[in-house]
Structure 1
Amino acid sequence: MTQPAHLYVPVKDAPVPWPDDDVPVLRNRPVRLGTDTSLLSHFGDDVWNVRPAHRDAHTDVGHLNLLVFPGALRRQFRTVLLAALDHPQPVEPGGRQRPAEYIGIGSLPMLVRGLRLFAHWMHAQDRGQITDVTGHDLDTYLRHVIGTSTPPRLKANAVSALRTLWLFRDVLPAPCRLATGFPWAGKAANELVGHRAAGGENKRPRIHEDTMEALLAWSLHMVEQIGPDIRDAWQEYAALCRGEHPSQAIYTGTTGPRLQKYADFCRRTGTPLPGTSGPDGPGINYGHVLRLIGMDDKGQFSPAQKRWLAGQGLPVATHSTVGVITGRIQGSPWRDSPLTVAELPGLWRRLIGALFTVVCYLSGMRPGEVLSLRRDCRGADETTGQLVIHGHRGKGYDRAPDTPEFAEPTRPWVVVEVVHQATALLESLHAQPYLFPAQLRTGVFRPSTTHARTCHSINRDIADFAAWVNQTFRRADGSAPIPDDPSGNLNSSRFRRTLAHFIVRRPRGLIAAALQYGHVDTKVTLNYAGAPDTEWLQDVAVEKLELVLEQISDDAQRLAAGEHVSGPSADEYRRRITEVVDFPGRTVISPRSAARLLAGTDPQVHHGEGMTCVWRSETAACRAARLTQGLPEPAGPDESECRSTCTNLAFTDRDIAHRKQDLRGWEAAASDPLAPQPLRDRASAQAERITSLVHRHEQNRTEGASK
């Protein structure tokens, strides 16, 4: 039950007036720089465009349609929504809400949805004013909401919307005030409607390693080889459209003389007329001819001019092409013919999808943070020299659009070289303020001057890019270059968790373009260590916990099956694995709990190439080596500084099998008559060292069995 009904007496004696129809609805909200203020909505409009007040340029916030409210109640609920835009939301009685917090622009469509349900219920109950609703009515309305077929989360939203209406009563005209006590005090909205909200666990699946490796590799091909050709063709096409291409300098005057000169040029140089495909073969692309002679935006050919050109007997090309092919894949041109005008828009979007993949995946940024990047975001740290990308955080209740008086400070993300290359290519593709503009061409709907691509659009671009690669190229065995992901469609929201998985697993060797995941790990983790945004580190903790649990299980099974372990830390290895494998485990309900569980579960056993480190910082040779060089103390083993004399080392049968493979290579190098003597001596010494290690391992196995 609600609190007993009573009329609410406003704190202020002066009545609150009704707003005038010409009041701008965003008068108290900052709007994005570059917004055309003459197009902003007013109180009397039936549809309000509130998108300019949203901080994120990539977010496609829907308009607020006021026509969804019953006509008799529309002015009252229009006034409620204006109050929600004008004023911070008051704190609930006994609530924990931050003071002076405005309702987010992205939340307003949900507020409209919740208030609409209440307005239609009022209309059905013949309540002409909001102030006529009593506490008993609210209980009846709650039963109505619970009985609807809408999803539970929307039922909870309807309850929250009604409470929001009550909270703004001090700034509303008297007929708009909900004159009851705070609705259903002491109970949460989810509790009232029986909705159990989902937990904070990240349920997004990782992108399969075969798919992600191939997607990244081909994205890097776009950065280095294919993308510059698409960029140059697009720039040539744009210059032709503007009449600024150098080839157009020979044309002057009206359309007729220009056309005559162009036909003479084609006859003299043997250049075919630009064509377009048709059922009877290629036909003349008159639109592109206009473009070539600098008349693209100045008119069109008359029927007589078209007949004249067709009668010149000039050859007609199959397509209308621009640019040249310079990029190479595996030593061969990536394409046999220049790009066609018809292909350019699709190739532009696919290139955008590939460049987004490089920037988003290799930086650890959220998709929205990448889409909101602006021109000239590249930089370098003055102290360390590390490459950075400057952008804005993608979360936070206090974010608002920049204004001439105040701009939210940017934050740096440390990145690798190829991310800078991708952003430089993006800046050369267009002249818009955002690296990922909303549209290829300028337009009224979501203009690129103030809007970036949406997450939905960029996900479609990524999928189109992968499909285009698979249609255009083939592996040597005839298979698709980018295999399908068994977990579903490619989605940019899955990049961060996938990167965390790859970093933790640390595959040996180099990934595409010689970018080591360990290198990316160092830089991405540096972005988030000590920062308020810790979600990335929580994702890494989840992946590390999964790896540790898998490794413990595998090591314990091998020990039980008789795997032999030698080396100075062999006994400690067996002790740690035996102790940890008996751990009964706990339920992991969030990434934070994964980090805590990892801290108490990890046996600090690290499998490397041909060796196993049973980590103890005080006896680690790699730690001593780093400290001697004045480097920071490592949190774990540094294989690049590993010493064969380190007492942390242990050797399993798996390690010895790996060393035996190395031994064959060193023995072959030591006996190579064409190799210089110093190299043969070094190979011989390495072979002798490995032979001694293998002998000690086998001898230790025999001695242990005889005891």
Structure 2
Amino acid sequence: MLERIVPSGELLFGSAHHFTQDRAGALKAGTLNIRIKDFVTWINDEAATKDLTGQSIPDDPHGPINTSRFRRTLAWHIARRPGGLVALAIQYGHMRTVLDARTSSGYGTRSRGGIHTVLDVESALAAADTAARLRDLLAAGERISGPAAQRALTAAAHVPRFEGRIVPRTFVHKARDYLARDGIVLFDNPDALLICAFKRDNALCEPDPGANSPRQYDCRSGCANTVRTDTHARLLRARADELGRLADRLPPPVGRRLRSNADRLRVAADTHDSSAQTAEAPR
């Protein structure tokens, strides 16, 4: 909705587009807190008027809902993109995370150690979400392919489903144990249109020794950790068609490279179609 309200290339919460007294830049925290409070009031008034009491927002026992309460929500969205954990570290000011041991578990701290708690928890939750989505797709009849398909089936069959909830400090230990299961932790890579069943010894992205997640920004074809579903195959063909249309409008040298990439994507989709099996099929 914000992307439709705000002109392309400008801040989604830019003060110029939200009828506010803030003079420049993004809306200030105080203004946003007032907007959130007014929004909750509006929802409750609408629910009462339309006799939808089950959709009202009750008073929060932890205090008013304000911008400081959304820090983990933002982390959730950032961490679930390829390279998102790097962006997460930058966003929260932990530029030197790789230089420090895991000496801190305080979520709010800006010390070099504190970010590791966030990274572990968000990585584990994202991986569990990926496994749960794969389980749902397989239950709906989608097929699976790839050298790591059997490991992915094992991960999907045993994953707990993580719903929205408060994540206690003690959860970080469970997250680290979950990520330590080398070979059966699944990482979605929407840019590469695949799932990585991460196993350090097989990874072509050359992860650091002891790493518990792949370098998703350096995903390489032919990796033994690759998993694809019918949905991935459809998206591969859609992207190939998009590259073909783009190639028609560009100079010949660039167009040839794009068509070559499109052909490679179609080959990957064809490979999936020829080798994919259902979850119930013998492997």
Rate the CA distance shift 1:541–1:638 in 2: closer, same or farther, 3 A.
Answer: closer
Structure 2 partner of 1:556: 135
**Partner SS state of residue 605, structure 1:** strand
Q: Does 1:689 align with 2:261?
A: no
Indicate the percent of aligned positions where both proteins have the same amino acid.
22
Task: Give distance in 2, aligned partners of 1:571 and 1:669.
Answer: 37
Structure 2 letter corresponding to 1:568: P
Task: Give distance in 2, aligned partners of 1:617 and 1:597.
Answer: 20
1:633-690: per-residue Cα shift (whole Å, max 9, x none)?
86522222111122211111121121011121133345x2x53221222122112212
Aligned partners of 1:605 and 1:613 also within 8 Å: yes
Task: Give distance in 1, aligned partners of 2:136 and 2:86.
Answer: 32
Task: Give distance in 2, aligned partners of 1:700 and 1:634.
Answer: 30
Structure 2 partner of 1:595: 172
Rate the CA distance shift 1:464–1:517 in 2: closer, same or farther, 3 A.
Answer: farther
Deviation at 1:549, TM superposition (A): 3.9
Task: Give distance in 2, aligned partners of 1:693 and 1:680.
Answer: 20
Structure 2 partner of 1:662: 239
Q: Give 1:140-159 correspondences, 5 Å limit.
A: none
Structure 1 partner of 2:50: none
Structure 2 partner of 1:500: 75
**Partner SS state of residue 223, structure 2:** coil
Q: Which one of the candidate residues 66, 69, 75 is aligned to 1:491?
A: 66
Task: Give distance in 2, aligned partners of 1:532 and 1:593.
Answer: 13
Structure 2 partner of 1:621: 204
Aligned partners of 2:36 and 2:66 also within 8 Å: no
Rate the CA distance shift 1:526–1:535 in 2: closer, same or farther, 3 A.
Answer: same
Q: Does 1:535 align with 2:116?
A: no
Q: Give 1:574-593 correspondences, 5 Å limit.
A: 574-578=153-157, 580-581=158-159, 591-593=168-170
Report the TM-score, using the length of structure 1 for normalisation.
0.29
Q: Give the number of aligned pairs.
A: 238
1:516-537: per-residue Cα shift (whole Å, max 9, x none)?
9655402227267656462245
Q: Give 1:290-439 correspondences, 5 Å limit.
A: 347=21, 350-351=22-23, 354=26, 356-357=28-29
Task: Give distance in 1, aligned partners of 2:104 and 2:167.
Answer: 17
Task: Give distance in 2, aligned partners of 1:486 and 1:521.
Answer: 30
**Partner SS state of residue 613, structure 1:** strand
Q: Which one of the candidate residues 69, 72, 94 is aligned to 1:526?
A: 94
Structure 2 partner of 1:462: 32
**Partner SS state of residue 196, structure 2:** strand
**Partner SS state of residue 526, structure 1:** coil
Rate the CA distance shift 1:638–1:545 in 2: closer, same or farther, 3 A.
Answer: closer
**Partner SS state of residue 568, structure 1:** coil
Q: Give 1:84-233 correspondences, 5 Å limit.
A: 217-219=11-13, 221-222=14-15, 226=16
1:551-606: per-residue Cα shift (whole Å, max 9, x none)?
3333223223432111221222223322x23x699xx9962321122233354211
Deviation at 1:502, TM superposition (A): 2.1
Task: Give distance in 1, aligned partners of 2:121 and 2:205.
Answer: 27
Aligned partners of 2:131 and 2:156 also within 8 Å: yes
Aligned partners of 1:567 and 1:651 also within 8 Å: yes
Structure 2 letter corresponding to 1:652: T
Task: Give distance in 2, aligned partners of 1:601 and 1:533.
Answer: 17
**Partner SS state of residue 563, structure 1:** coil
Aligned partners of 1:539 and 1:591 also within 8 Å: no
Aligned partners of 1:541 and 1:594 also within 8 Å: no
Q: Does 1:569 align with 2:148?
A: yes
Aligned partners of 1:501 and 1:543 also within 8 Å: yes
Task: Give distance in 2, aligned partners of 1:214 and 1:542.
Answer: 33
Q: Computing the radius of gyration over CA atoms, which structure comes out larger, 1 or 2?
A: 1
Deviation at 1:351, TM superposition (A): 4.9
Q: Does 1:680 align with 2:259?
A: no
- Kindly report the root-mean-square deviation, in angstroms, between the aligned alpha carbons of the 2 structures: 4.5
Rate the CA distance shift 1:653–1:504 in 2: closer, same or farther, 3 A.
Answer: same
Structure 2 letter corresponding to 1:656: A
Deviation at 1:693, TM superposition (A): 1.3
* Structure 1: gaps (5+ residues): 1-209, 227-328, 336-345, 358-457, 469-484, 509-515
Q: Larger deviation: 537-546 or 560-569?
A: 537-546
Q: Does 1:607 align with 2:188?
A: yes
Task: Give distance in 2, aligned partners of 1:491 and 1:532.
Answer: 26
Aligned partners of 2:203 and 2:223 also within 8 Å: yes
Structure 2 partner of 1:153: none
Task: Give distance in 2, aligned partners of 1:560 and 1:466.
Answer: 39
Task: Give distance in 1, aligned partners of 2:143 and 2:125.
Answer: 25
**Partner SS state of residue 205, structure 2:** helix
Task: Give distance in 2, aligned partners of 1:541 and 1:356.
Answer: 30
Task: Give distance in 2, aligned partners of 1:499 and 1:589.
Answer: 14
Task: Give distance in 1, aligned partners of 2:145 and 2:72.
Answer: 36
